[in-house]
């Protein structure tokens, strides 16, 4: 089994910063792409940022210049540094990872962490 555990969410004022972490553990052979998604109340889940095993990144237009995704391959961990947060960033943030295990390859999801941007 593979587990993704997120941390770092919380309540922050507009203009503030938060850093999310997502650590993968279990019977992992390798991790390919990793990413962060978010889902606001009443809205569909959307991609926030993604990063390949080689470090190439992509971002939603709404977060470009404010959010930075990174990863530590030795720790099987992906991070999301969020700066200049806005109320519209309020959502549950989920990480995912495209993981190769002994028996194959599969996409795993974390349980989600709440980010609330409010004064």
* pLDDT for res 17: 98
Q: What is the mean pLDDT of residues 62-80?
A: 97
Mean pLDDT of the chain: 97
Provide φ and ψ at 16, rounded to 5°.
-85, -175
Sort strands 57-59 and 46-51 into parallel, antiparallel or unpaired: antiparallel
Note the pLDDT tens digit of each residue in 28-41.
999 999 999 999 99
Share of the chain above pLDDT 90, in %: 98
Compute how many other C-beta atoms are within 10 angstroms of the C-beta atom of residue 118. Answer: 10
pLDDT band of 64, cuts 50, 70, 90: very high
Per-residue DSSP letter, 84: S
* pLDDT for res 33: 97
Note the pLDDT tens digit of each residue in 86-104.
999 999 999 999 999 998 9
């Amino acid at each position: 089994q593979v587990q993704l555990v997120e941390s770092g969410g919380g309540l922050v004022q507009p203009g503030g910063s938060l850093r999310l972490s997502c650590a993968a553990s279990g019977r992992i052979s390798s991790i390919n792409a990793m990413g962060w998604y978010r889902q606001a109340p009443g809205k569909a889940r959307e991609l926030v940022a993604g990063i390949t095993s080689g470090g190439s990144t992509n971002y939603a237009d709404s977060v470009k210049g404010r959010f930075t995704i990174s990863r530590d391959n030795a720790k099987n961990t992906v991070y999301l540094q969020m700066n200049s947060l806005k109320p519209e960033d309020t959502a549950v943030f989920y990480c995912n990872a495209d993981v190769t295990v002994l028996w194959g390859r599969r996409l795993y999801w974390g349980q989600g962490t709440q980010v609330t941007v409010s004064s």
